[in-house]
């Protein structure tokens, strides 16, 4: 690729007069222009997301199935190390990412609580696996019942209770939680 010298070369002199500064051309800005995204386009995108015709249920059920398999494998192995934590984290990240896109904000919130919990612990003991199991059953209920939106006060209370359970675990097992 050959770079063309800019005809818009600007030269600035420092107060001492010894140094010259050249502003290189911003070729990307020249191609796409300046300014933000038009409000009309943002509104249109938000309307599409809110009225998204795609059903998340089959995809979410498949992700939860992978989560269930990973959790069962960890239970069979006893107190599993960080490698099993990582295996369980991946489907949770998928649920967290896709939930909001399909207007399943409660799903995203619960997955976020679970993800934060799993990222903090160093191994899966029986109590950690119990918390993962409760989170998993909660995610399954949200998907099965197609609970879109935030879930209102009940959804907030549910997410808060799951968060509180994670906090109690952190307090009880400080040595198993990464600092």
- How confident is the model over 21-74, as pLDDT tens digits? 778 777 777 777 777 788 898 898 888 877 777 888 999 999 999 999 988 888
Site of tokens 């198993």: 176
Confidence of residue 165 (pLDDT cuts 50, 70, 90): very high
Same domain, 109 and 32: no
- Total domains, the chain: 2
Confidence of residue 164 (pLDDT cuts 50, 70, 90): very high
Same domain, 62 and 19: no
Residue 66 burial by Cβ neighbours in a 10 Å radius (0-12, 13-18, 19+): middle
Same domain, 40 and 69: no
Which residues are CB-neighbours of 140 under 8 A, at least 6 positions away?
Answer: 64
Q: What is the pLDDT of residue 93?
A: 94
Three-class secondary structure of residue 163 per DSSP? helix
Same domain, 136 and 154: yes
> For position 131, which CATH number holds?
1.20.120
What is the average pLDDT across 130-141? 92
Identify the domain containing residue 28 by its residue range.
15-47
Q: What is the pLDDT of residue 146?
A: 86
Confidence of residue 5 (pLDDT cuts 50, 70, 90): very low
Compute the mean pLDDT over every residue in the chain, rounded to the nearest whole number: 82
Q: What percent of the chain has pLDDT over 90?
A: 34
Same domain, 21 and 109: no
- Comparison of pLDDT for 165 and 3, the residue scoring more: 165
What is the average pLDDT across 128-139? 92
Model confidence, pTM: 0.70
């Amino acid at each position: 690729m050959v770079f063309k010298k800019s005809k818009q070369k600007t030269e600035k002199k420092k107060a001492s007069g010894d140094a010259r500064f050249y502003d290189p051309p911003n070729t990307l800005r020249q191609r796409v222009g300046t300014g933000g995204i038009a409000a009309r386009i943002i509104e249109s995108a938000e309307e599409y997301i809110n009225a998204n015709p795609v059903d998340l249920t089959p995809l979410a059920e498949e992700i939860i199935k992978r989560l269930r398999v990973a959790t069962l494998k960890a239970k069979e192995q006893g107190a599993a190390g960080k490698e099993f934590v990582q295996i369980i984290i991946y489907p949770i990240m998928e649920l967290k990412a896709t939930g909001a896109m399909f207007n399943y904000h409660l799903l995203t919130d619960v997955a976020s609580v679970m993800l934060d919990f799993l990222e903090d612990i160093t191994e899966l003991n029986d109590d950690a696996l119990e918390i993962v199991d409760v989170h998993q059953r909660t995610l399954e209920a949200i998907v099965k019942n197609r609970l879109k939106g935030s879930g209102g006060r009940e959804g907030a209370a549910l997410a808060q209770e799951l968060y509180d359970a994670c906090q109690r675990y952190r307090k009880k097992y400080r040595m198993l939680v990464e600092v």
